[in-house]
Amino acid sequence: NEEELRCIGCGSVLQDQDPKKSGYLPASALKKAMEEENAEVYCQRCFRLRHYNEIMPVEENNDDFLALLNSISEKKALVVNVVDLFDFSNSLITSLKRFIGNNEYILVGNKVDLFPKNTKESKVKDWMRQEANRNGLRPEKIFLVSAAKKKNLDALIDFIAQEGKNKDVYFVGTTNVGKSTLINAILSARSDLKDLITTSKFPGTTLDEIKIPLDNGHYLIDTPGILSKKQLASHLSGKELEVVEPKKPLKPATYQLLPGQTIFLAGLGRFDYVDGPSAGFTIYVARDLYLHRTKTENADEFYKKHKDDLLLPPSKADDLGPLKGQTFRPHQKSDILFGGVGFITVPKDVVVKAYTPDGIGLGIRRALI
């Protein structure tokens, strides 16, 4: 056939020879398209991008990704950094501060549905702002949303529609923060945005972006997810994430502890109560995660003996290191953070020690609840 058939997503000439080259379509599908008059077909890649929002993740310091960020600084853009409220500091893209330039930058904390019902959203926002500032980022606005439960999306969409009027809107986020879910939720909430998704490449890079044309001639741009080694999610298998990632609002479990007692959060966290009076400690983690209380003096032994049965995940197959601890002496009621797993609320003026594999995701904030 002399007539070339082109993908209506990316414009590549369709071919059935090489799946790795642009415009690939399996032979049977291509044959069918050839037989049709005025066929509107996508190549396999564009089809997947459209339907599964698949963009291959990259490392944060990947040269191409940095070039992509750099290209943002040369444009008029609204940068939307989507973060996971359950792994906030590790999903914040701190390298953004070098690239935003004079552009507007907003933070969207996703998965707010997981916080217990009595959480004060203003407290969550205050904490996010402090953490962002500590990392040299000055978000213009902070939104708390649930992409999965479609919560609080209207305010965000209105803001984007308003502020993105005469610029492109870039969505950036590390993997697993829910960026795809959020973009899909936004697009389905606004059918006027649910136009054609095209793919293209940033000049001079090998990265793909998904460009979603908006009515105003500008684009909503989905950038590749960034793999962060500081995120627990990038070390666990899909099955393990099922257990670790909460699906429903976290249900607090309160433990009355004496100094010298330890609690394991499966093999992903260890919490020692070092010093203070008998007190209540409230644990917020996924319901299916195994919790075990023991004496601190027996904890090392217990861990050694049970890290491959009771205290799963993580399994041997995961590339996570040994538990590493950090001591905290909060002078106000605080949450000890186990990034990606949950948090434990502790009273003021106690001494506690928290451990995670390699110390990943450890942190502290003023208690939210």
Report in angstroms how near the CB of residue 355 gets to ligand GDP at its nearest.
25
Tell me the one-letter amino acid at 295.
K
User: Cβ contacts of residue 320 below 8 Å, gap of 6+?
Assistant: 235, 314, 357, 358, 360
Report in angstroms how near the CB of residue 90 gets to ligand GDP at its nearest.
13
Report in angstroms how near the CB of residue 15 gets to ligand GDP at its nearest.
29
CA-wise closest residue to 283 among 223, 329, 240, 342: 342
Pick between residue 60 and residue 275 the one whose CB is nearest to ligand GDP.
Answer: 60
Tell me the one-letter amino acid at 330.
P
How far, in Å, CA of 363 to CA of 63, rounded? 29
Report in angstroms how near the CB of residue 91 gets to ligand GDP at its nearest.
9
Report in angstroms how near the CB of residue 146 gets to ligand GDP at its nearest.
4
Instruction: Tell whether omega for the bond before 249 is within 30 degrees of 0, i.e. cis.
Output: no
Tokens 């070390």 correspond to what residue?
Answer: 235
Report in angstroms how near the CB of residue 233 gets to ligand GDP at its nearest.
8
Tell me the one-letter amino acid at 75.
K
Mapped onto helix, strand or coil, the DSSP state of residue 312 is coil
Pick between residue 174 and residue 261 the one whose CB is nearest to ligand GDP.
Answer: 174
Report in angstroms how near the CB of residue 113 gets to ligand GDP at its nearest.
5
Task: Please check whether residue 108 is in contact with residue 152, taking contact to mean a CB–CB distance below 8 angstroms.
Answer: no
Report in angstroms how near the CB of residue 185 gets to ligand GDP at its nearest.
8
Pick between residue 249 and residue 276 the one whose CB is nearest to ligand GDP.
Answer: 249
Pick between residue 103 and residue 180 the one whose CB is nearest to ligand GDP.
Answer: 180
Tokens 């690939």 correspond to what residue?
Answer: 24
How far, in Å, CA of 345 to CA of 24, rounded? 53
How many CA atoms does the CB half-sphere of 45 hold within 13 Å? 24
Pick between residue 225 and residue 330 the one whose CB is nearest to ligand GDP.
Answer: 225
Pick between residue 89 and residue 180 the one whose CB is nearest to ligand GDP.
Answer: 180
Helices (H), strands (E): how many in the chain? 9, 19
Pick between residue 111 and residue 365 the one whose CB is nearest to ligand GDP.
Answer: 111
How far, in Å, CA of 359 to CA of 3, rounded? 59
Pick between residue 106 and residue 114 the one whose CB is nearest to ligand GDP.
Answer: 114
Report in angstroms how near the CB of residue 338 gets to ligand GDP at its nearest.
17
Query: Residue 316 class from Cβ within 10 Å (0-12 exposed, 13-18 middle, 19+ buried)?
Result: exposed
DSSP run (H or E) holding 155: helix 153-163
Closest residue to bound ligand GDP by CB:
178
Residues engaged in binding ligand GDP (CB under 6 A): 110-111, 113-114, 146-149, 173, 175-181, 225
Pick between residue 23 and residue 173 the one whose CB is nearest to ligand GDP.
Answer: 173
How far, in Å, CA of 257 to CA of 180, rounded? 41
Pick between residue 179 and residue 230 the one whose CB is nearest to ligand GDP.
Answer: 179
Strands of the sheet containing 323-328, edge to edge, are 291-295, 261-265, 269-275, 351-357, 323-328
Report in angstroms how near the CB of residue 226 gets to ligand GDP at its nearest.
9
Torsion-angle region of 201 (φ positive above 0: left; ψ -120 to 50: alpha; else: beta): beta
Query: Beta strands 219-222 and 261-265: pairing type?
Result: unpaired
